[in-house]
Structure 1
Amino acid sequence: MVLYPENMITTPEGTPVRQVRPKTEGWSQKKDAEGRPLLQFASPKRGKPPLHLADLTPDERIAKVKELGLPGFRANQLEKHYFTHYTHDPAAMTDLPAESREEFVHGMLPPLLTEVRRLETDRGDTIKFLWKLHDGALVESVLMRYPGRITLCVSSQAGCGMNCPFCATGQAGLTRNMSAGEIIEQIVRANRLIADGGLGGKKRDDHSADRVSNIVFMGMGEPLANYARVMQAVRVMVDKDHGLGMSARGITVSTVGLVPAIKKLADENIPVTFALSLHAPDDHLRNELIPVNSRWKVDEALDAAREYFDKTGRRVSIEYALIKDMNDHGWRADLLADKLNERGRGWVHVNPIPLNPTPGSIWTASEVSVQNEFVRRLNDAGIPTTLRDTRGKEIDGACGQLVATEADIADAAVTPAEL
């Protein structure tokens, strides 16, 4: 197969088709000494966030409470206030001793996120938050009400080190990993807003609970590059006695393909939904689209995904952003189906996502007819495939759009820290 002569390729059947080559627009991709896209796996050294209740195991919380001079059972009371009533306000915790209450609460629940801005769309059913962390780093999360469920797209890193050219988040590189407490605080703050009636209104026949029911780790960052803190956050999410008591099946952890971490996740015995952001079934294109493919190839990532299914019994989701004339060719749908079917049936579901278009950019969504043909070929090959509807495009809150802009930085500079 001849690739990229004057933006054309020859398909396996010998048909010439247009091939747009990935490139960055409006920014310079960071490169290493050999000219390859730079990958950042380690978090840059910065001041650590204050230690928070959610960073600790239940036993560690009791020890910390005793260290602050109170009996261990106070940890359970504090957990109830934070994880059930979604508050860190000492004045609301009247069951705690008044003389030491404020110092105790601030010692266990230090402020982690300052809200800089809130944008709404979809008649109030989608809200994007811009948060400032203790060190000035900026992250975003997106809250979405659907019939029967409420989903929060959370960030796990400030920035991202995976350097994918079509994702706005990766343009500035990795600022730092987020703590488990900072991840959980996004959920607690969202639950507080929902409890106060701040997320649209339910339809009359919607009997879902008024709290976040689904989490997708698809905000800023590569979750599996911040493995330990993400997993601590997940444990807090699913803990019914000392955490948020969420269903693991409602939590989706995504990755661009960090194979060793995928295998580690499969051994956690927590049945979260696993999503692989693939975006191309052939190494030649994926090497440029997803730079981490230079470390772990398509087949290695798919083998690890199949292993996740084998160990957990949880069907894997393949995320695939459809980009016009770049990765949306029919032969790529066929190749993707072949690779998935080679690994068996019934273990995977494909989620094509129309890329959010930018006027005049090479990065734009596929034509509707092309999207439909891509989906048809996969379904006809026996691969369950559903075109995903994206929310929040009007407020730059959809997949791949989360990024701290110059306007965000300016607003954050005049936003006072929480007391």
Structure 2
Amino acid sequence: MNKTNLKDLSLEGLQKLVIDYGQPSYRARQLAEWLFQKDAATFEDMLNLPATLREALEKKHTVDRLRQLKRLVSSEGTTRKYLFELSDGNTVESVLMQHDYGASVCVSTQVGCRMGCALCASTLGGWVRNLTPGEIYEQVLAIRRNQGRGVQRIVIMGTGEPLDNLNHTLVFVRNITADYGLGISTRRITLSTCGLVPKIKELAASGLGITLAVSLHAPDDDLRNRIVPVNRRYPLAELIPACAEYIKQTGRRVTFEYALIRGVNDAPEQAKALAALVRGLNCHVNLIPVNTVQERGAKPPGASTVRWFQELLETRGIPVTVRREMGADINAACGQLRAVDLRNTAATSSPSPGMSSNRVPSPKSSPPEPVRKEPVRKEPARKEPVRKEPVRKEPVRKKSSRKGPSRKGPS
């Protein structure tokens, strides 16, 4: 008999469950606290529940925990990447990032991804399945257990498209923000999407008011169609108004993520087009020098390109920051650690039917990896003042015209 994981249920689901077992509804909150806050490993640990209820739960339900396969720690010590095994043998990855303001955990919502974005490692193994609410929540609990400290922020931008698994993602968010859960404020939760317009509208209507981040990556449909294929279904003419409506309904600022790819989307005219696209919105642009993914062919631009791209946005009134690189040495970007794991087993397994082979569009010059000169910002010619040293004239010693007395010898 397949047992159900109680961490997959909402409080309402737990209330129905305990009532079915002949218990008063308040037992559901006690049970929820053990599952989502106290992190009980077994039903025996749930000491304030009646023994009869614990025994009944044990027979038909579980409190599954993820098994940690790998943990990588970055050289700077601020980032940890985890590879977890699920109960069915699939793997999923999560990231812990330490900041001055506390710890952020980046969670995955799917095993693989079917969006096919050209710069992302998440789609390399194809889409396998959605994660359950409990599997998403357990990533946070597992990392909290590992580091022995609390978690202050949640970033839903690991492997998978959260809005492609919206129902389970919403259950996770409601549980982790509740007083029977970790009580994390919705203002400290960010969800990243590639732009599923109908689901953005559903998220706005949910009333949760979490921060929305949109993976934009291009200022026009032609280029975005190639980098983010879902744009063919939901073009910018639909996406940007959906973001404006999200801002209106939630009162929250939207973040537009823009991965800078050398020779593809980092030109001055593209910075100007991006500014024009988002002008007037309560938004923020997050520039991300693209992570190098072996199978994708994307390379980040030089530091000077990133700097003047940022300045072009700033001078047009667009709030912008450049994301600080964290964990590059441990494959901390979405899907990279799982992709490495998949590569290691590729020789003995056949590709997933949903595997994406989409690559980043070639740079605008013909060689596969062109040597691109970074644009030089012309600074106004600054002439160093020439310091004129005063000409020191040596005083000319004039010979005296006065004739001294002639010395006559004796006559």
TM over 0.5: yes
Q: 1:405 aligns with which of 340, 347, 354?
A: 340
177-186 or 118-127, larger mean C-alpha shift: 118-127
> How do 1:197-346 and structure 2 match up within 5 A?
210-240=149-179, 242-341=180-279, 344-345=280-281
d(CA) in 2 for partners of 1:399 and 1:383?
Answer: 26
Q: Structure 1, residues 318-345: CA drift from partner, whole Å, max 9, x if none?
A: 001111111111111100101111xx25
- Unmatched segments (≥5 aa) in structure 2: 349-411
CA contact under 8 A between 1:237 and 1:243: conserved in structure 2?
Answer: yes
Residue of structure 1 aligned with 2:35, choices 46, 61, 82: 82
Give me the identity figure in percent: 40
1:62 and 1:169 map into 2 onto residues whose CA distance is: 36
Amino acid at match of 1:230: T
Distance (whole Å) between structure 2 residues aligned to residue 330 and residue 175 of structure 1 = 39
Cα–Cα, structure 1 residues 409 and 50, in superposed 2: closer, same or farther, change >3 Å? farther
**CA offset at residue 357 of structure 1?**
2.9
The structural deviation recorded for 1:185 is 1.1
- Residue 227 of structure 1 deviates from its aligned partner by 1.1
For residues 264-286 of structure 1, give each alpha carbon's deviation from its aligned partner in whole angstroms, at most 9, with x where no partner exists: 11111111000000000111111
CA contact (8 A) 1:217 1:253 kept: yes
Q: How many Å apart are 1:254 and its aligned residue? A: 1.0
Give the direction of change, closer, same or farther, for the CA distance of 1:75–1:360 in structure 2 (3 Å limit). closer
When structure 1 is superposed on structure 2, of 130-139 and 170-179 the one drifting more is 130-139
Q: How far apart are residue 98 of structure 1 and its match?
A: 4.9
Tell me which of 298, 308, 318 is aligned to 1:363.
Answer: 298
Q: CA deviation at 1:235?
A: 1.2
AA in 2 matched with 1:285? L
| 1:126 aligns to 2:79 (yes or no) | yes
Counterpart check, 1:379 vs 2:314: yes
What secondary structure is seen at the aligned counterpart in 2 of 1:171?
Answer: coil
| Alignment match, 1:27 | none
Give, in whole Å, the separation in 2 of the partners of 1:298 and 1:363: 23
Offset at 1:136?
A: 1.7
Deviating more after overlay: 68-77 vs 291-300: 68-77
Partners of 2:295 and 2:145 lie apart in 1 by 40
What amino acid is the match of 1:151?
S
Rounded to whole Å, the distance in 2 between the matches of 1:100 and 1:404 is 43
Contact 1:54 1:233 (C-alpha < 8 Å) held by counterparts: no
Shift of 1:290: 0.6
Structure showing greater radius of gyration is 2
For 1:51, the equivalent position in structure 2 comes to 4
Distance 1:55 1:352, change over 3 A: same
Report the Cα distance in structure 2 between the residues aligned to 1:108 and 1:227, rounded to whole angstroms.
24
State how far apart, in whole Å, the 2-side matches of 1:116 and 1:400 are.
15
Matched, 1:142 2:95: yes
Deviations 1:233-280 (A, max 9, x none): 11112222x332110011111111111111111111111000000000
1:88 touches 1:105 (CA, 8 Å); kept in 2?
no
Give TM-score scaled by structure 1 length.
Answer: 0.76
In structure 2, do the counterparts of structure 1 residues 124 and 232 end up closer, same or farther at CA, with 3 Å as the change threshold?
same
**What SS is found at the alignment partner of 1:390?**
coil
Structure 2 Cα separation of the partners of residues 114 and 69 of structure 1: 34
Q: Following the alignment from structure 2 to structure 1, what is the Cα–Cα distance between the partners of residues 331 and 213? A: 22
**Does structure 1 retain, via aligned residues, the 8 Å contact 2:70–2:83?**
yes
Matching residue within 60, 63, 74 for 2:16: 63
1:188 maps onto 2:141 in alignment: yes
The 1-side partners of 2:66 and 2:21 are apart by 23
Deviation at 1:400, TM superposition (A): 5.5
Residues 154 and 190 of structure 2 are in contact (CA less than 8 Å); yes or no, is this contact kept in structure 1?
Answer: yes
Aligned to 1:166: 119
Deviation at 1:122, TM superposition (A): 4.3
Please say if residues 293 and 336 of structure 2, whose CA atoms lie closer than 8 Å, have aligned partners that are also in contact. no
Deviates more, 1:70-79 or 1:250-259: 70-79
The one-letter code sitting in structure 1 at the alignment partner of 2:292 is P
